[in-house]
Amino acid sequence: MKEKIRLFLETDLLERYLLGSTDTAESARVERYIAMYPEVRSTYEELQENLEAYARLHAITPPEGLRERILRGVRREQAYKRRFMRYGMAASIAAVFLISASVFLWNQNQNLQQENALVNNKIRVLEADMKEQLEDVRNQFIVLNNPQTRKFMVNGNRKARELKAIAYVNPVKKLSYINVKNLPNLPEDQDYQMWAEVNGEMVNLGVLRNFSDSDKLLALPYGEKGVSYITIEPKGGNTTPSVENIVADFTY
């Protein structure tokens, strides 16, 4: 054991360990020997004291004003860092602002595009409605003023004796309209409903409750030997006509 310690102390491992020039494996070996063997620990402490004494002996007095120059340099560096941080923070804020503004503008653009699409769609619907209404007005004018238009007087049966209507049929223009002049009152839970049977197909033309405008014409689907009915149905109308409740019918 003594020989092992002697051989270790003859190496320069302790000196190099003190100077920080040993590698990881050498440092681990030195620290293990210092911890395990008092002789090695004593030699290490002695070398450490000698190194400190040598350092004090050969210490160089720093030039006058060095401390102040170092402090000024440190302060300049700190000021530079603070300016850099401020600039960096300002740049970050500007970047966040630009990103937020871009997102906001993008969202606004999307909203405007959606609103524009809705407006355009409403305009198209209105244009279609106006076109349909104008077409209907034109057809009514033709039916009422064309000499080839035929008129049919429509009277109610015993279930609605006061019902009066006039049907207009123009076989040349293939247009049919009916003008309901008078509808007897019904209980609140019932409605008059208009039907047309054209080419074997029954068409629901809707309810006639509150059909108070005596000048209003209701378009009928045109067909060869078409038949129209007015029935009494439950309030709101029915999906099929109640044959037992027919109050008026006519063939055109």
Token pair, residue 102, equals 């871009």
Domain boundary among 111, 145, 179: 145
| Mean predicted confidence (pLDDT) in 78-86 | 67
Q: Taking the CA atoms of 20, 23, 28 and 32 in sequence, report the sign of the dihedral they define.
A: negative
The residue type at 126: L
CA angle 33, 37, 40 (to 5 degrees): 70
**pLDDT at residue 5 tops 70:** yes
* 126 and 163 both lie in a single domain: no
* 177 and 245 both lie in a single domain: yes
Give the predicted TM-score (pTM) of the model: 0.47
The confidence score (pLDDT) of residue 213 equals 52
* 22 and 42 both lie in a single domain: yes
Q: What is the extent of the structural domain holding 26? A: 2-57
The confidence score (pLDDT) of residue 64 equals 64
pLDDT digits (tens, 9 = 90+) for 92-109: 666 665 676 667 677 777
Note whether residue 37 is domain-resident.
yes
231: confidence class by pLDDT, cuts 50, 70, 90: very high
Domain boundary among 106, 125, 145: 145
Note whether residue 116 is domain-resident.
yes
The confidence score (pLDDT) of residue 86 equals 66
The residue with tokens 């429509």 is: 154
Instruction: Identify each DSSP E strand in 52-189 by its residue range.
Output: 150-155, 164-170, 175-182
> Can you tell me the distance from the alpha carbon of 145 to that of 139, in angstroms, rounded to the nearest whole number?
10
pLDDT digits (tens, 9 = 90+) for 109-118: 777 777 777 7
CA angle 163, 168, 173 (to 5 degrees): 160
31: confidence class by pLDDT, cuts 50, 70, 90: very high
